[in-house]
Amino acid sequence: MNFDDTPEEAAFRAEARDWLARTAPKFVTPGPDEADDAREAAYIRRAKAWQAAKAEGGYAAITWPKEFGGRGGRPIEQVIYSQEERRYSVPSGPFQIGLGMCVPTVMTWGDDAARKRFVGPAVRGEEIWCQLFSEPAAGSDLAGIRTRSEKKGDEWIVNGQKVWTSGAHYSDWGILVTRSDPSQPKHKGLTFFYLDMKSPGVEVRPIQQIWGGANFNEVYFNDVRIPDSQRFGAPGEGWKVALTMLMHERLAISAGQVTTDVKDFFELAGEIELETGPALENAAVREQIADWYVRSEGLKFTTYRALTALSRGETPGPEGSIGKVVSAPQLQALGTLGMDLGDMAGGLTEEDVAPLKAAFQRAYLFAPGLRIAGGTDEILRNIVAERVLGLPPDIRVDKSVAFNELPVGR
């Protein structure tokens, strides 16, 4: 056991580190203030330029085949590059969904013309993609979507609403799942498309979240016309497309986990006084720190085990699926108990008063979303139970019923 790179990995890391040192500082960003349109526009310009630079340097799509603008590298190289890139505050966010989920779907399901048209511009940062999947009535039950598509001649007319679409407001293209035949059982009547986000009838509205952010959108479709040539897969066969896309999403999300930071709490406990004296001398606080610490460390070393598999050229095991179901509730507890240390003044969110610039108060408001996004706690436990432990699926009552005969509520 060790935590070292193999010689090949070390060489790649040195090369990437060198390239980053020369290139990244030009693109470093203070991060978007997403409530401020002008700053966001500037951020997007910087992000596109950074992506172009990565493409130029050969780091835009490390594991993709060279024919698609990739480098033909190994997954561990992608990880190493990401580790190194993380040292710089570079604007990579807007391309994660496109390169992580959408363009791979184009590569799998599009024809040669589509691949030729879209892959290059996405890799070079010329076009941003979004994923139009969730709906108000289709969250955990993704196949429950209701956005309608009807074929008229060579076009499809789309009506309905999507929700939780990241970056829809600055995206050039979107990948869209629709229901083309509601008389079929729910998994049978779906059809996939891609579309120009500037198409007439597409309306994007930001969703304000409870922690103040607004990086998600509602997207409304009013008689939006999509050429049949922009369909992926056969009509009614969209669930197959969805499954490949969801597989990509899961990989992307487990890579992008928020790490709960027990260090912040430790630091706070070192500064704050309780009735009985310094918080860090309180045994209950100390036990809490220890409990969180072993969970955070456990997750960290679980990731290291997965990286070990990647480094050996193996596929990581299912251990990764436990990440968010541990870290999200822990972040929530950290938020609450961090505020608790502030006692009567613990609810203040003034950054000059609240410790660590109100990090705990933010965690308290952010964690509920983390427990939902990318699979709720409950869905993730189902996934562990079914895919890792091989337990039976839930009893399904909706598999063989026509979609339009299923009961509906809100």
Catalytic residue numbers, as ranges = 249
Tell me which stretch binds another protein (CB under 8 A): 64-72, 122-130, 136-144, 171-179: 136-144
Using DSSP bridges, classify how beta strands 216-227 and 155-162 pair: parallel, antiparallel or unpaired.
antiparallel
Which partner from the list a copy of itself, another protein, none does 346 bind, CB cut-off 5 to 8 Å by kind?
another protein
Collapse the DSSP code of 204 into the 3-class scheme (helix H, G, I; strand E, B; otherwise coil) and give the result: strand
Contacts of 283 (CB under 8 A, 6+ apart): none
- The only residue of 2, 154, 395, 410 in contact with a copy of itself, by rule CB under 8 A: 395
Tell me which stretch binds another protein (CB under 8 A): 66-74, 106-114, 171-179, 368-376: 368-376
Residues touching another protein, count (CB under 8 A): 110
Tell me which stretch binds a copy of itself (CB under 8 A): 77-85, 207-215, 223-231, 278-286: 278-286
- DSSP 8-state assignment for residue 227: E
CB atoms within 10 A of CB 141: 12
Consecutive H or E run containing 224: strand 216-227
Residues listed for the chain:
410
Which partner from the list another protein, a copy of itself, none does 207 bind, CB cut-off 5 to 8 Å by kind?
another protein
User: Quick check: 7 binds another protein (CB under 8 A)?
Assistant: no
User: Quick check: 57 binds another protein (CB under 8 A)?
Assistant: no
Contacts of 37 (CB under 8 A, 6+ apart): none
Tell me the Cα Rg of the chain: 23
User: Quick check: 250 binds another protein (CB under 8 A)?
Assistant: no
**Between 85 and 114, how does the x/- string for binding to another protein read (CB under 8 A)?**
------------------------------
Contacts of 270 (CB under 8 A, 6+ apart): 278, 279, 280
Q: How far is the CB of 242 from another protein (least distance, A)?
A: 15
Q: Judged by CB, which is closer to a copy of itself: 6, or 276?
A: 276
User: Quick check: 286 binds a copy of itself (CB under 8 A)?
Assistant: yes
End-to-end Cα separation, the chain, in angstroms: 53
- The only residue of 71, 169, 179, 186 in contact with another protein, by rule CB under 8 A: 186
Contacts of 169 (CB under 8 A, 6+ apart): 204, 206, 217
- The only residue of 15, 34, 264, 398 in contact with another protein, by rule CB under 8 A: 398
Consecutive H or E run containing 109: helix 103-109
User: Quick check: 356 binds another protein (CB under 8 A)?
Assistant: no
Q: How far is the CB of 38 from another protein (least distance, A)?
A: 22
Q: Which tokens go with 76? A: 């561990």
Tell me which stretch binds another protein (CB under 8 A): 152-160, 192-200, 237-245, 284-292: 284-292
Q: Which tokens go with 235? A: 């009509």
Q: Judged by CB, which is closer to another protein: 104, or 335?
A: 335
User: Quick check: 406 binds a copy of itself (CB under 8 A)?
Assistant: no
Q: Judged by CB, which is closer to another protein: 85, or 127?
A: 85
* DSSP string of 71-90, one letter each residue: ----HHHHHHHHHHHTTS--
Q: Which tokens go with 88? A: 């710089």
- The only residue of 22, 66, 86, 305 in contact with another protein, by rule CB under 8 A: 305
Cβ atoms of 309 and 315 within 8 Å: the answer is: yes
Note the residues at the interface with a copy of itself (CB under 8 A). 276, 282-287, 395, 397
